[in-house]
A and B are shown apart, each in its own frame.
Chain A
């Protein structure tokens, strides 16, 4: 006969890096748990209720804690403990689970990043530091809880939630080095491109839909490529420098284009490979 233990982790809210938080929660729960005491005499097993004998803690040999690293730009940038937004745009993720004796329990790498050996060594050193801090925090918290229970003070989940105070979106302001800021700012402004024109008048299409500026050229295409039109219209505020503008001929418009007489003119989107139009100078007719 053995004991069976089940650990459920309920996620109430998160801002990224659920793995680390859940691992800490799990190991603390296991350390905090007390099971009923048992005595075995030959074949007889007596299980004592909590009233008869104090429940006994589980025998935890070590406390493995996970630490996650997010990689960006093929390993150039490394972030420890990524937030939700950082997780969404990261290239790769490395999770290392370690205990305070610097023994690595788990390493897991995912994503599209190729990692070099010394990067992984560096990550494991960072993990060792973090795990030492976290383990100390856990020990202190467990001791405080034990003290509170012995002295009859308040303890438990409900008590540890701050009352009547909003803690969402509270972030400690990070100290920023502002020594050379003016010079740096001056350099950046001097080198930067002039700011884009600001259009303050949105165009109202229908109630509920408005448009500022021009979006990307629509690139709905047929399965076969149609010829690119040479005269692409330039719109006032197109951010089009980086995007390719591929004008696609729709089925309705038919334009007379100047092409050489002997070139086949592909006008319709029929399945045939070559469509040769006789007397191309006239208004072309659809050859469907």
Chain B
């Protein structure tokens, strides 16, 4: 095929051909010059620049917070990297808090660094995640499915009850609904969505909304 072929995650160039480095389904997108990638199911996260992730604050070291993002190393987050933060106006972040941010530096040679503002200085949804709610881990494949535009799962869930949802590309999801019971119901559905077909999901939701 003519044009530039994009070789995505799970594939590697070697000489004139392509080598597969992960197990999974091979997918193809004909748009542009064409792109091939391997859709693999894994739970372990490797920090990638530009990914939005949920981190847990593990330590405050001077001007910098250390966050656990599920990778091999803790990420660092400067306290100035929040919207409206100045040297005297520090964000009120404690150890154990949840933070939603994106990576600016993430490669295998250096410790990953995160920020909670985008390039224009606005927070655009990032920053400290509020109190309460529930954080749990799922596989990376499920996160990508949920982040797809017009995801059915999220639309069907929103018919049940209103809730707040933050999806981190590192496999972490934070949910908060009005009561603890509703929150836990949503958590269980999202976890089970990994292996339920659309039919089973609709049945489960119908049973819940009937109650």
Contacts and interface: CB of A to CB of B under 8 A. Distances in A.
Contacts of A208: 125
Interface in B71-92: 84, 88-92
Interface stretch (A149-157, A219-227, A280-288): A219-227
Nearest to A219: B92
Contact of B92 (A196, A221, A269): A221
Contacts of A112: none
B166 to A, nearest CB: 11
Interface string B75-112: 00000000010001111100000000000000000000
A77 interface: no
A196 B182 CA distance: 13
Interface residues of A, number: 30
Interface residues of B, number: 23
Given A221-B92, A222-B88, A212 B164 contact: yes
A200 B161 CA distance: 8
Contact of B195 (A169, A200, A211): A169
Contact of B88 (A212, A218, A269): A269
A116 B16 CA distance: 67
A153 B205 CA distance: 45
A31 B91 CA distance: 55
A216 B88 CA distance: 21
B136 interface: yes
Contacts of B164: 210-212
Nearest to B123: A209
17 contacts: A13-B43, A85-B136, A168-B194, A195-B179, A196-B178, A198-B178, A200-B162, A201-B162, A209-B125, A211-B164, A212-B162, A216-B131, A219-B92, A220-B89, A220-B91, A222-B89, A223-B88
Given A195-B179, A199-B178, A216-B131, 13 more contacts: A85-B136, A169-B194, A198-B178, A200-B161, A215-B130, A218-B92, A219-B92, A220-B90, A220-B92, A221-B89, A223-B88, A239-B132, A243-B131
